[in-house]
A and B are shown apart, each in its own frame.
Chain A
Amino acid sequence: MYRYDSYDQSIVDARVEEFRDQVQRRLSGQLTEDQFKPLRLMNGLYLQLHAYMLRVAIPYGTLSGRQMRKLGEIARKYDKGYGHFTTRTNLQYNWIKLADAPDILAELATVEMHAIQTSGNCIRNISSDQYAGVAADEVTDPRPWAELLRQWSTFHPEFTYLPRKFKICVIAAEEDRAAMRLHDIGLKLVSRDGKIGAEVYAGGGMGRTPMVAPLINDFVPEDEIVSYLEACLRVYNRYGRRDNKYKARIKILVHELGVEEYKRQVEEEYAHMRILGLNPPTEELDRIRPFFAGPAYESGLSDEIDRTDPAFALWADRQVAAHRQPGYAIVNISLKPRGGIPGDASAEQIELAADLAERYSFDELRVTHAQNLVLPHVKKADLYAIWQKLDEAGLAEANLDLITDIIACPGLDYCSLANARSIPLAQKLSERFGTAERQADLGELKIKISGCINACGHHHAGHIGVLGVDRKGVENFQLSLGGSGAEDASLGQITGPGFSEDGVVDAIEKVTDIYLTQREEGERFLDTYRRIGMKPFKEAIYG
């Protein structure tokens, strides 16, 4: 876990005081809402349908028990006793009073947390692989680079008023658990001749024009990543479209210029910038790296798991992933209880996760872009005790990557941009498909729901995607099939005319029925879809 030094702390503390000053000016009437809006939006504070929403950054999805406990405490003290984990691995509070916001930031600062750049047209929270540091298939732990980029992007003076928001992801494994190629810039760390560098992908994203990011550079040496990104961002800042917010993301620039031309412009810019000494020295990465060194694992532990309790065995088979250290496991905690709200957690659940992290996982937790939690370093011998505690707290759902492990945005229940409600639909789907047998039979199947075209619910990347639209004042849901946010990234195709809320649940059931009758041995839903195409599904839905 990275720990702040006095420099990091002083920057976050200064931000708290700056925001306190801005809120004070707003409350006293010196600032109008129009003048205040750009200021609060630089700090994750949105005015939603019913109240202010505050989005707290969880850099690269990693946090300690102490930080997690603070999030629970804030939920209880300043919100209605819960929080919502987002697809950017952040946490949102939905019922915040403006006058409390500075105090909340001050409390966050005591545990080295903040809400800096969780909104606005700037570089947002850097995301990474939730299995970073414990996955067997990674070249290196990507988080030291993510932390380096967190610092570099914090209050970057040139890139604070970009054409649009900018999302960066860093991974270092073959399996892409973080939807890297659906980011404005995705970095995949690779090893070449014993040296670490990054494959750079630029121009991915969702929204109304989804794109899978193309590769623009196959090896940027690790000590040049910062300056190379400066060149990528500068080209975007200068030439990205500002006339239409729906065409302002970097994906449109890359698409309109063409990959080769964008790449050429970046290279030209880079020729100017690489000699300016913009990169931190390698000693800085060397300073950061030990914070992420693996904990003091015990050796000689047994890999045996006592499976006599069938409910535990079911959970363990689904929620526990292989750890690279013998005797240890990765535990996925589902925030998708049957009929529940995806990504929501009560203050008590957040605090339980904090307790479990401290007691069983070397004081470390992760948040995933699929809106779940991870205990990254758990002894296999402790799995049963953990499961019992999770079960008591309603957190022992065994549905990782199954049909009820739904990603959903907050939708029209909270969000002022939404056209349709995502949450009730997610709940209905979860009820319809939620028996253990049915989910297990359907296997890996990722449903992702967005309540509007902005695609915060990643519907383009859903094996089954649902987009809520407004059709003459009535909520309507478009269905798409075949998307993926993983290493085989692809964009879903729309099936045809949309449905009512109940209608789309029925349509999804027809889709899964086709899969069950057509699948071949070992095929996931996505594999069957890719083999047989849209036609049979379409016939079943509309025929």
Chain B
Amino acid sequence: MVEFLSFRDGEAAQEPAVTVESFTGQSNSTAVRIEAGEDARELLPYLDRLSLVEVNFPAYGDGRGYSAARILREAGYVGELRAVGDVLVDQLSAMRRCGFDSFRPDKALDDAAVERALNRYADVYQKTVDGRSPVWAKRHPEKING
């Protein structure tokens, strides 16, 4: 069983994440935690100094964190983006596609199930922030640069 999953090179960020409110109110923290109702765009002025953003999923069905993740990646955030909370194996693939690169689920995940879930779909239809080439780009390689 895996309690922490990372797709990043090197060590995971260790500094405890602080709330958005205390993060934006002080200058020295490098790790922040976003709750489901909070606006990821508040962090955009500070992306350079951030090394970890945790996005909390209070329930697997609360999908706000997917938008938060994509917004951060679209704005150029390259640090660790960690999904925490009610993160189930069936959501890993979509979370990866939205830019999450580490996971600390409330309940440990089965290694084999993680492997299956992440390798299930060879092709995807949308362009997101994970660098995967969508089906439409594969169909028209001459029209797409990168």
Contacts and interface: CB of A to CB of B under 8 A. Distances in A.
A18 B121 CA distance: 9
Contacts of B128: 157-158
B62 interface: yes
Contacts of A278: 126-127
A280 B123 CA distance: 15
B49 interface: no
Contact of B66 (A39, A121, A155, A161): A161
A158 B139 contact: no
Given A159-B63, A237-B67, A284 B123 contact: no
A154 interface: yes
A11 interface: yes
Contacts of B125: 11, 151-152, 154-156
A51 to B, nearest CB: 24
Interface stretch (B2-10, B16-24, B25-33, B92-100): B92-100
A238 B61 contact: no
Interface string A286-329: 01000000000000000000000000000000000000000000
Question: Which of A157, A277, A280, A284 neighbours the largest number of chain B CB atoms within 10 Å of its CB?
Answer: A157
A38 interface: yes
A11 B93 CA distance: 14
Question: Which of A18, A158, A273 neighbours the largest number of chain B CB atoms within 10 Å of its CB?
Answer: A158
Contact of A281 (B60, B68, B121, B144): B144
Contacts of A21: 116
A242 interface: yes
Interface string B102-144: 0000000000000010001111111110000011101110011
B124 A276 contact: no
A284 B98 contact: no
B136 A284 contact: yes
Given A7-B123, A157-B97, A280 B136 contact: yes
Contact of B60 (A161, A234, A237): A161
A23 to B, nearest CB: 13
B93 A277 contact: no
B70 A158 contact: yes
A158 B127 contact: no
A160 interface: yes
Contacts of A27: none
A7 B143 CA distance: 18
A238 B64 contact: yes
Contact of B94 (A5, A152, A160, A162): A160
B140 A18 contact: no
B74 A272 contact: yes
Contacts of A11: 121, 123, 125, 135
Nearest to A286: B140
What is the size category of the interface that chain A forms with chain B? 35 or more
A38 B123 contact: no
B15 interface: no
A5 B135 CA distance: 10
B127 A5 contact: no
A22 B88 CA distance: 13
Contacts of A237: 63-64, 66-67
A281 B136 contact: yes
A7 B135 CA distance: 7
A287 B139 CA distance: 9
A156 B126 contact: yes
A155 B91 CA distance: 11
Contacts of B66: 157-161, 237
Contact of B124 (A22, A155, A280): A155
28 contacts: A7-B138, A10-B122, A10-B123, A11-B121, A14-B120, A14-B121, A38-B61, A39-B90, A152-B125, A152-B126, A154-B125, A155-B121, A155-B125, A157-B95, A157-B124, A158-B63, A161-B62, A161-B63, A238-B68, A242-B64, A272-B74, A277-B127, A278-B127, A280-B136, A281-B140, A283-B139, A283-B140, A283-B143
Given A158-B67, A158-B98, 17 more contacts: A5-B139, A10-B123, A14-B120, A21-B116, A22-B90, A121-B63, A151-B135, A155-B124, A157-B95, A157-B128, A158-B66, A161-B62, A234-B70, A237-B67, A272-B71, A280-B134, A284-B140
